[in-house]
Every structure is written in C-alpha cells, then in structure tokens.
Amino acid sequence: MITGNDLVGVWREYKKFDTGQPAKDINAGDFRGYVAGVCDVCNRWLFTTPDGATQGQVCATVGKWLEEHPHRWTEPAMSLVIEALQDAFPFRREKKRRKRFLLFWVTRPDAP
C-alpha cells in the first residue's frame, strides 16, 4: 500500500524537477502520474476540478495539501489525494439539460 510518506517523497522530487532543480529520484514523475490517475478516476464523482485545470495545477494543489497535513502521512495515499482534491474542488452536481419534446397529434381527416 502506498502511504502519504511515499507520496511526499516523490512530491519533493517532482517539485524539484518541475522548478528545474536537479532531482535525485528518477521516479519524480510518479507523483504526477499517481495524482493524475486518482483524479481521472474520481473527478466528477467525488470532487469536480474546474474546466481547464492542468495536471500541474492539480499536482500543486495536492502537494500543498500534503505539506500542510504532515500528521496524515501514514494514511493511504489515495485517500489523501482524494481529500486534498475534495477540499480544493468540492463536488458540484452538473445540471442536466432537460430534453424537451414537442408531440403533435395528427389526425387524418378521414379518421372516424
């Protein structure tokens, strides 16, 4: 099971890589991939990211949340990512457009 401790480690390397600093861990992209995977599966079901939000913005949101909640790092990483995204982007139910149908009843002149 991947924990918050594991995720924070790759977040730190991702942050270095993203800012152009030399990253020691060749798995710096793991953070982006993990967060993107959770986001793809749970978006519009448990939270709603804004239209046009980039993966980089979503990763920065999760990374910032992790830094602010070090007491939670022993918990499963997936639940931490979900909670971070729920805090930042609460679920919004999409309004469904009603389909309106016009029905015409046509009678033939020769019908009884």
Residue 84 CB-half CA count within 13 A: 29
Range scoring the smallest mean pLDDT among 64-73, 74-83, 86-95, 98-107: 98-107
Please indicate, yes or no, if residue 37 is contained in any of the structural domains.
yes
Please name which of 4, 71, 70, 81 lies closest in space to residue 46, comparing C-alpha atoms: 81
Q: What is the pTM of this model?
A: 0.79
**Domain housing 64:** 4-88
pLDDT in tens, 74-97: 999 999 999 999 999 999 887 665
Please indicate, yes or no, if residue 22 is contained in any of the structural domains.
yes
Top-confidence residue, 104 or 73: 73
Number of domains in the chain: 1
Look up residue 3 and give its DSSP letter. B
pLDDT in tens, 18-36: 788 887 766 778 999 999 9
pLDDT value for 98: 57
Exposed / middle / buried, residue 109 (Cβ in 10 Å: 0-12, 13-18, 19+)? exposed
The encoded tokens of residue 11 equal: 């977040």
Look up residue 70 and give its DSSP letter. G
Please name which of 79, 45, 81 lies closest in space to residue 65, comparing C-alpha atoms: 81
- The percentage of residues in the chain with a pLDDT greater than 70, rounded to a whole number, is 81
Q: Is 79 left (phi over 0), alpha (psi -120 to 50) or beta?
A: alpha
The encoded tokens of residue 81 equal: 């990512």
CATH no. for residue 16?
1.10.890
Place of tokens 């594991």: 6
Q: How confident is the model at residue 103 (pLDDT cuts 50, 70, 90)?
A: low
Q: What is the mean pLDDT of residues 47-75?
A: 97
Please indicate, yes or no, if residue 95 is contained in any of the structural domains.
no
